[in-house]
Amino acid sequence: MPRLLSSPSRVKAAGVGIKLIDEYIGHVNSSTSEVSIAHMRSPQGWNEPGQTPDFDEYTVVLNGLLRVQHAGGELDVRAGQAVIASRGEWIRYSTPEPEGAEYIAVCVPAFTLNRAHRDPDTPDGVV
């Protein structure tokens, strides 16, 4: 039987700057471990620690620009574009432009802090 999720859960974001994360499907909002789907809104200047996750991440940018640093350089992903980051690949996200960015992130399997494998200098207690 289908299950209605009436609203997302707001979860705390890692990084510098205040990023809003509304998880619709995942460990926090639906107790789902297979996939997580979240709506992200981050301001200009937001950046997060690098990570080498144990999940694939599929990101669709709705507005603004999301910068994705990786071991081979960086990609600027603009509204209407998408990016796939494969598990085991080092990545770091940021939003350098004045309008920040709004995007949807899908992680398979679902995001958890333990699966993210943040860079060692990342403080504990962040999502």
Closest CA to 38 of 18, 17, 19: 19
pTM of the model: 0.91
| pLDDT value for 123 | 52
Distances (CA, A) of 70 to 8, 9, 50: 29, 29, 9
- What 3-state class would DSSP assign to 2? coil
Convert the pLDDT of each residue in 7-25 to its tens digit: 999 999 888 889 999 999 9
Convert the pLDDT of each residue in 26-79 to its tens digit: 999 999 999 999 999 999 999 999 999 999 999 999 999 999 999 999 999 999
Closest CA to 105 of 58, 66, 63, 42: 58
Domain extents in the chain: 9-113
Superfamily of domain 9-113: Jelly Rolls (2.60.120.10)
Report how far residue 114's alpha carbon sits from residue 42's, in angstroms, rounded to the nearest whole number: 22
Mean pLDDT over 75-101 rounds to 97
Distances (CA, A) of 11 to 14, 16, 51, 110: 10, 15, 18, 14
| pLDDT value for 14 | 87
